[in-house]
Amino acid sequence: MRKALRTILGVAIVGLVLHMADLATRDCRIAPHVYDDCLWIWLRAQLGLPASRFLRIAVLECVGIFLALVLYLTFRYVFPFRKRMEHS
């Protein structure tokens, strides 16, 4: 029962992270034939940030690192594939 619950929790977390990655990389139309990342457009509007290429790259890099970290921690602690073997 406990292993099944951990598996369900892990699959839900991985699914949520993949959905967040999809939202973070989705393009939105700004003007005719002009597209930009929807997450960046939303953050600029909410925080009042200037239209800076460097800030856009930094924000998307931080989002990518965060998503990769969540996936790593999920696989490390929620899905323990093998048990530790004790050596004599």
Phi-psi label, residue 33: left if phi above 0, alpha if psi -120 to 50, beta otherwise? left
Higher pLDDT, 9 or 83: 9
Q: What's the pTM value of the predicted model, to 2 decimals?
A: 0.72
pLDDT digits (tens, 9 = 90+) for 6-51: 888 888 988 988 888 888 888 888 888 888 888 888 889 999 989 8
CA distances from 25 to 18, 64, 79 (A): 11, 10, 27
Domain ranges in the chain? 2-78
